[in-house]
Amino acid sequence: FVDASYTTELEHMAEAGTSDVSSNDCDSENKYRRHRRRERRIYKKPPTADGPIISPLHTAALIVFVAGIFGCIGGYLVSQRYQTRAILEAVAAMERTRKYAEIERKQKIANQRKLMDYIYQSDYEKVTEKYGPGPHRVMFAVDIPSQHGGMSHFSRKRFVVETTHIEAMPHSTLAFLDMVEDHVYGGIQFNVVVRTEAGDKRGVAIKPDDRTESNHATMDRFVASGRWPSALSHAEVNPGALHGKNTVGFVGGTSPGLFLSSSEMNGGVDLSAFGNIVEGGDTLEKIMFLSTEESPKLISPVTIRFATILKD
């Protein structure tokens, strides 16, 4: 800082207009001016490292603030790490569950195939031993109703079903021949018309679960025989034995009710037939005449009087 006494002396000399300052002591005046400029620079100069910038309290607060920021960042990174690990563990658990389920599914399919192979071989041997090597022929006698002058009349017709080769459908063939042998079909009725999705007629069927008054005997007979609701342990499927014109199969694949196909169905492998109508195809045509376009049921049910296995 500039000496105060010297500064005051120069100011008084300047005010008094002394010739020493103005003429002889120019150096002193210049020195005074330099000191004044220096004073202004000193008082306007920003703080330097020589003096404190912030107080210790502010420094501590800043440290705490920065530490908090880093703590938040660290906590977020740790939480993200654990969250990522949890997601990966969940994905791995789902993958293990999927693999176990796939293994169980394959094992179940393998067990089912083993069981079906066993049933196939067992039923093949039973059919051969009990009924012969085949093919087997079964005759059905049916009463077809007709209306004449308000009076109900029946005409008895016959048709013959020949089973496919035993190798093709042994499980279905055995069930069918056993029911014929046990006289299960005597007295039951064809009562339903089977149609395509477009409404075209495909054939007629025995549906005992259609609980009409005239169909009680059909249900009761199937129940009494122990073959309701299923006559088979599983639906037998054979791509080489598809339904077509004048074929015979079980309704739904396992029901004891019969389905007689009257047209080429062009169906999938789930529509397998165990036999064909080889005689009396006109009988099926007469039955189809009893159907209407409005109702899925026959106008009058067609009753099976008896069914018997024909001997060679």
Does residue 122 fall inside a structural domain? no
Confidence tier at 161 by pLDDT (50, 70, 90): very high
Of 272 and 13, the structure prediction assigns the larger pLDDT to 272
- pLDDT at residue 270 tops 50: yes
How much of the chain exceeds pLDDT 70, in percent? 75
Residues 153 and 28 in one domain: no
Does 269 reside within a domain? Answer: yes
Structure tokens at 178: 């056993």
Tell me what pLDDT residue 33 has.
74
Same domain membership, residue 164 and residue 30: no
Q: Is the same domain home to 138 and 274?
A: yes
- Shared domain for 154 and 265, answered yes or no, is yes
Residues 159, 40 within the same domain: no
Is pLDDT above 70 for 16?
Answer: no
Q: Quick one: 296 and 147 in the same domain?
A: yes
Q: Which residue has the tokens 């309290």?
A: 57
Do 289 and 169 fall within a single domain? yes
Could you tell me the CATH number of the domain that includes residue 191? 2.40.100.10
Q: What is the mean pLDDT of residues 227-256?
A: 87
CA angle 200, 204, 210 (to 5 degrees): 110
Identify the residue with better confidence: 30 or 193. Answer: 193
- Report, as an integer, the average pLDDT of 229-237: 85
State the average pLDDT over residues 265-283.
79
- Of 57-61, 92-96, 127-131, 237-241, where does mean pLDDT reach its minimum? 57-61
pLDDT at 151: 42
Q: In the structure, what pLDDT confidence band is assigned to residue 64 with cuts at 50, 70 and 90? A: confident
Question: Of all residues in the chain, what percent carry a pLDDT higher than 90?
Answer: 27
- Residue 56's pLDDT is 74
Domain region containing 27: 4-44
Answer whether residue 68 is part of any domain: no
What is the pLDDT at residue 25?
56
Q: What is the pLDDT of residues 163-206, one digit of tens each?
A: 999 999 999 999 999 999 999 999 888 988 887 776 677 888 88
* pLDDT recorded at residue 74: 81
* Angstrom distances, CA of residue 59 to CA of 47, 56, 275: 17, 5, 99
Q: Would you say residue 78 has pLDDT above 50?
A: yes
Asked, for residue 78, whether it belongs to a domain, the answer is: no
Q: Mean pLDDT, to the nearest integer, of 112-141?
A: 92
Q: What is the pLDDT of residue 268?
A: 47
* Residue 76 resides in a domain: no
Specify if 306 maps to a domain: yes
Which of the listed residues 44, 59, 74 is the one where a domain comes to its end? 44
Residue 98 lies in a domain: no
Strands (E), 164-238: 189-195, 201-205
Rounded alpha-carbon distances, angstroms, from residue 36 to 11, 22, 40, 138, 140: 11, 18, 6, 137, 137
Alpha-carbon 244 to chain mean position = 32
**Where on the phi/psi map is residue 236: left (φ > 0), alpha (ψ -120 to 50), or beta?**
beta
* 30 and 150 belong to one structural domain: no
Mean confidence (pLDDT) of the chain: 80
Q: How many CB atoms lie within 10 A of CB 92?
A: 10
List the single range of 8-17, 171-180, 222-231, 266-275 with lowest mean pLDDT: 8-17
Domain count, the chain: 2
38, 176: one domain = no
Q: Between residues 311 and 146, which one has the greater pLDDT?
A: 311
Residue 84 belongs to a domain = no
Mean predicted confidence (pLDDT) in 8-17: 54
306 against 294, higher pLDDT: 306
Same domain, 279 and 158: yes
